[in-house]
Homo-oligomer: A and B are copies of this chain.
Amino acid sequence: MKDIETLDTLNQLKIDLQGDVSSPLGFIAGGMHVGLRRKKKDFGWIYSTTAAAAAGTYTLNRFKAAPLKVTEETIKNNQSLQAIVVNSANANSCTGEKGIQDAKDTQAWVAEHLNLSKESVGVASTGVIGSFLPMDKIQHGTQNVLKEQYNQSEFFNQAILTTDTFTKHLSVQVEIDGITVTIGGTAKGSGMIHPNMATMLSFITTDAKIDADTLDNCLKQTIDNSFNMITVDGDSSTNDMVLGLANGQANHNKLDTLHPDWEKFEYALNFVSQYLAKSIAKDGEGATKLVTAKVKGANDVAEARKIAKSIVSSSLVKTAIHGEDANFGRIVTAMGYASEDIEPSQTNVSLCNVPVVEDGMSVEFDELHLKKQLEADNIYIEASVGNGEGAASAYGCDLSYEYVRINASYRT
């Protein structure tokens, strides 16, 4: 796991960087190789020993992949899941009615195998768009869900990856009613990553006691500060999905927004989502650096988000950071086309803590010093754009030769 900032600003969490979706009470995860990829694991599952309240957030892409449609419908009807299966290498997207049927068959096979109702099973896919799932291999996978030799959560963390170079997971613990509650998460990137849900799957589990609607609301707010604030290449995929499961096994008093420890839970969920989101950005295809853009002084949060996202989305900013070049003009340019409300004369920008623009004008700085700072793995861009209350952070990565190499030859 690469170095991702883990700033528990409120000092309320016990953080386990080895943790994942299997960390909370009652959750088991596993994965195996069924033959969708050459050698790597390509089929994984999450299972809760008891029914879990379920919430989901799905891509806004109009071409929503079949497994998303099926899982969204399932959660809408049942608000609860007990198992999720995920395959990599094939997105089951642009596959029409047959794709929907394939996703439903997968769901039914898992349900039958685990003796659950179909409405207790979620399905997810990631990979190449426009091919049918090889259903014999998928069926083979479904028959092996929960087989002991495959029940290692690290196998799950691996099985959902595509071009990712490292697994992305952690867990945190927080006290609710004096009882330890665990939240775990596992995610994958790493191309087609952009605000509004990208080619990205993320699964968050918890043993907290919370109903599906409350979980759903909390998850959606969390996502706006995390997964919706990352970008790798500006493409929002057909398969993005974040699923949350809460099985209540920690057995505290049920959480809702009036619970005295509600904010602690919210904080912990936010922390997990932000960590996973930053991991995805840092592992963007071909990325060598994590870029964080913090914007303040905007009229409102929405404007701050637009400006911050624009900075980390700009190909010219991304290549300059790859080249470790203090090309602040590109940062200002990306801000200037993001928002009509920006007032140039009130705009200040610093790069790696070095002021480069003040009141909309370039300022002199020590080129050699800044060049040295730009060699770091984590690059911080901070900007203020006025006197407003709006602030936001966005996360991205540099744009490298490697990005082009990966994507010029991905499908074939």
Set of chain B residues within 8 Å of A335, measured between Cβ atoms: 62-63
Q: Is the interface of A mostly helix, strand, loop or mixed?
A: loop
The residue that A325 contacts in the complex, of B94, B95, B399, B411, with Cβ under 8 A, is B411
Q: Is the pair A94, B361 in contact by a Cβ cutoff of 8 Å? A: yes
Set of chain B residues within 8 Å of A340, measured between Cβ atoms: 62
Give CA–CA (A235, B317) in the complex, Å.
10
Q: Is the pair A410, B334 in contact by a Cβ cutoff of 8 Å? A: no
Q: Is the pair B94, A319 in contact by a Cβ cutoff of 8 Å? A: no
Known: A233-B316, A332-B94, A360-B63. A196 touches B337 (CB 8 A): yes
The residue that A337 contacts in the complex, of B60, B91, B131, B325, with Cβ under 8 A, is B60
Q: Is the pair B407, A336 in contact by a Cβ cutoff of 8 Å? A: no
Q: Is the pair A319, B408 in contact by a Cβ cutoff of 8 Å? A: yes
A96 at the interface (CB under 8 A from B): yes
Closest-CB distance, A259 to chain B (whole angstroms): 37
Set of chain B residues within 8 Å of A316, measured between Cβ atoms: 191-192, 233, 235, 407
Give CA–CA (A342, B61) in the complex, Å.
10
A93 at the interface (CB under 8 A from B): yes
A249 at the interface (CB under 8 A from B): no
In this complex, how many residues of chain A approach chain B with their Cβ under 8 Å: the count is 69
A328 at the interface (CB under 8 A from B): yes
A330 at the interface (CB under 8 A from B): yes
Q: Is the pair A337, B236 in contact by a Cβ cutoff of 8 Å? A: yes
Give CA–CA (A130, B363) in the complex, Å.
8
* CB closest residue in chain B, given A371: B412
Per-residue interface assignment for chain A, residues 295 to 328, with 1 indicating a CB less than 8 Å from any chain B CB and 0 otherwise: 0000000000000000001111001101101111
A344 at the interface (CB under 8 A from B): yes
Q: Is the pair A234, B234 in contact by a Cβ cutoff of 8 Å? A: yes
Known: A61-B333, A404-B399. A95 touches B362 (CB 8 A): yes
Q: Is the pair B233, A337 in contact by a Cβ cutoff of 8 Å? A: no
Set of chain B residues within 8 Å of A360, measured between Cβ atoms: 63, 94, 96
| Tally of this chain's copies | 2
Q: Is the pair B315, A233 in contact by a Cβ cutoff of 8 Å? A: yes
Give CA–CA (A357, B128) in the complex, Å.
14
Q: Is the pair A63, B333 in contact by a Cβ cutoff of 8 Å? A: yes
Q: Is the pair A315, B63 in contact by a Cβ cutoff of 8 Å? A: no
A405 at the interface (CB under 8 A from B): yes
* CB closest residue in chain B, given A129: B329
Segment 357-412 of A: residues with Cβ below 8 Å from B: 357, 359-362, 367, 399-401, 403-405, 407-412
Set of chain B residues within 8 Å of A128, measured between Cβ atoms: 329
Q: Is the pair A93, B400 in contact by a Cβ cutoff of 8 Å? A: no
Set of chain B residues within 8 Å of A337, measured between Cβ atoms: 60-62, 194, 196, 235-236
Closest-CB distance, A390 to chain B (whole angstroms): 16
Give CA–CA (A242, B319) in the complex, Å.
27
Per-residue interface assignment for chain A, residues 82 to 114, with 1 indicating a CB less than 8 Å from any chain B CB and 0 otherwise: 000000000101111000000000000000000
Per-residue interface assignment for chain A, residues 10 to 45, with 1 indicating a CB less than 8 Å from any chain B CB and 0 otherwise: 000000000000000000000000000000000000
Q: Is the pair A361, B93 in contact by a Cβ cutoff of 8 Å? A: no
* CB closest residue in chain B, given A385: B62
Set of chain B residues within 8 Å of A344, measured between Cβ atoms: 62-63
Q: Is the pair A238, B330 in contact by a Cβ cutoff of 8 Å? A: no
Give CA–CA (A401, B323) in the complex, Å.
13
* CB closest residue in chain B, given A286: B404
- Interfacial residues, chain A to chain B (CB-CB below 8 A): 60-64, 91, 93-96, 128-131, 191-192, 194, 196, 233-238, 313-316, 319-320, 322-323, 325-330, 332-337, 339-340, 342-344, 347, 356-357, 359-362, 367, 399-401, 403-405, 407-412
A-B contact pairs, 5 of them (CB 8 A): A93-B329, A96-B361, A129-B328, A238-B329, A399-B407
